[in-house]
Amino acid sequence: MKVKVRLFARLRELAGTSEMEVEIGEGMPVGEVFELVQARIPCLAGQQLPVAFAVNARYVAPDHPVGPGDEVAIIPPVSGGSGVLPGHP
């Protein structure tokens, strides 16, 4: 079965795309879906956890099973700025 995988932030930049379809076995854990994406896009192979996973816009654990028609989102950690506003010491 095919599922849509959406990549965010640094993963999207490295992959050069924000989404793709991946062929998986029904019930495959979302963490293994990420491994398939890494195999398909080798520049992502060095990107290890922690990443957050969402299935159908709901955050899930890496062992959450993916079903037919699900949309998987893979979200790397996002860091903020320095915490200091411009022009303020």
pLDDT tens figures, 22-73:
999 999 999 999 999 999 999 888 766 589 999 999 999 999 999 999 999 9
pLDDT tens figures, 8-22:
998 999 999 999 999
Contact 1, 23 (CB under 8 A): yes
**Number of independent structural domains in the chain:** 1
Domain span at residue 18 reads 2-75
> Helix/strand/coil (H, E, C) string of the chain?
CEEEEEECHHHHHHHCCCEEEEECCCCCEHHHHHHHHHHHCHHHCCCCCCCEEEECCEEECCCCECCCCCEEEEECCCCCCCCCCCCCC
Q: What is the pTM of this model?
A: 0.83
CATH code for the domain of 63: 3.10.20.30
Q: Is residue 83 part of a domain?
A: no
Q: Is residue 84 part of a domain?
A: no
